[in-house]
Amino acid sequence: MFDHAATLPLAFWLLAITATLLFGMSKAGFGGAAGSLGVPLMALAVSPPFAAAVMLPILLVMDLIGMVVFRGRSDAANLRIILPGAMLGIALGWLTFGFVDARWIKLLIGIEAILFALDRFRAARSSASAVPSPPTFGPGIFWSTLAGFTSFVSHAGGPPIMQYLMPQNMDKMRLVGTTVIFFTVVNFAKLGPYAQLGLVDLSFLGVSLLLAPAIPVGYFVGYRLLQAVDMRGFNLVTAWTLLVAGGKLFYDGMVG
């Protein structure tokens, strides 16, 4: 099980540990879309399929941790809208896999994330107090379907769902709790289709196990930072990570 680990260069382990910590922090609600940078970071030292295969078990463990940490803190009204939308998006991704150019998806989502982040910076500068708004069915179905689809084909579901949830100005813990359930369901729902497409590779599970000690460290740091920042700080951090993630997706879409 650990045969692959002995052949990996030191650069991989440094990048992989950093990526795991980054994923843990983002899964705990601090940094949001920054988690989408984890696999590209590891791919600086190894192939993207290898990086994705190593990170898949780690992400699933983090999702399960989040279900415990944020239990009872999600928004049920939103979940009733966005979970069916996500399943529709996953189905579309499964049906069109192999026909859709992931580069164009990354390019479009990157542009959308950058524009949305800039709008969030504008909103943060406003002196007016943010007023919470209720869920809306049409936009919720649209953005969650897009999130499910882009998560399936390019692992970039964060920006679309944040575009729907963030303007509602809900409490940060409720927002994070909602995204935790959303992406836990999405990630586990993708396993069957991924297996059918031959995208699930457990031969690198030993490498994932060696990275496992970094999971609680990253999650603990992210959760403590989430508790420490106020709502305005949370929105600014989320906007910055959306901007960075959008820039990376845009770059990947441009250079292929």
* Gap between the Cα atoms of 193 and 180, Å rounded: 21
* Gap between the Cα atoms of 125 and 37, Å rounded: 27
Q: What tokens were used for 51?
A: 């990086």
- Higher-pLDDT residue of 171 and 130 is 171
Mean pLDDT of 110-129: 77
**Mean residue pLDDT across the chain:** 86
Q: What is the pLDDT of residue 102?
A: 74
Coil, helix or strand for 56? helix
- The residue with tokens 């164009």 is 104
Lowest mean pLDDT among 9-18, 46-55, 160-169, 234-243: 46-55
Closest CA to 61 of 29, 28, 30, 85: 28
- Higher-pLDDT residue of 96 and 124 is 96
Provide the pLDDT confidence category of residue 107 given band limits of 50, 70 and 90: confident
Provide the pLDDT confidence category of residue 3 given band limits of 50, 70 and 90: low
Mean pLDDT of 142-152: 93
Question: Does the structure show a pLDDT above 60 at 128?
Answer: no
Mean pLDDT of 46-74: 87
Q: Which residues constitute the domain of residue 101?
A: 4-255
- Higher-pLDDT residue of 170 and 37 is 170
Neighbours of 169 (CB within 10 A): 15
Q: What is the pLDDT of residue 220?
A: 94
Biggest alpha carbon distance in the chain?
Answer: 58
Q: What is the pLDDT of residue 34?
A: 65
Q: Which of 28-32, 129-133, 248-252 has the highest mean pLDDT?
A: 248-252
Question: Does the structure show a pLDDT above 70 at 36?
Answer: no
CA torsion through residues 10, 22, 53, 244, sign: negative
**E strand or H helix at 243, and its extent?**
helix 231-255
Query: Would you give the distance in Å from CA 69 to the centre of its chain?
Result: 17
* Gap between the Cα atoms of 186 and 42, Å rounded: 22
Q: What tokens were used for 45?
A: 């030292």
Question: Does the structure show a pLDDT above 60 at 127?
Answer: no
Neighbours of 206 (CB within 10 A): 15
- Higher-pLDDT residue of 232 and 79 is 79
* Gap between the Cα atoms of 153 and 62, Å rounded: 21
Lowest mean pLDDT among 121-125, 209-213, 228-232: 121-125
Query: Would you give the distance in Å from CA 162 to the centre of its chain?
Result: 10
Lowest mean pLDDT among 48-52, 94-98, 170-174, 184-188: 48-52
How big is the chain by its Cα radius of gyration, in Å?
17
Provide the pLDDT confidence category of residue 77 given band limits of 50, 70 and 90: very high
Question: Does the structure show a pLDDT above 80 at 150?
Answer: yes
Q: What is the pLDDT of residue 173?
A: 93
47: left (phi over 0), alpha (psi -120 to 50) or beta: beta
Q: State pTM to two decimals.
A: 0.85
Q: What percent of the chain has pLDDT over 70?
A: 91
Amino acid at 181: I
Closest CA to 46 of 19, 67, 28: 19
Number of domains the chain contains: 1
Q: What is the pLDDT of residue 1?
A: 58
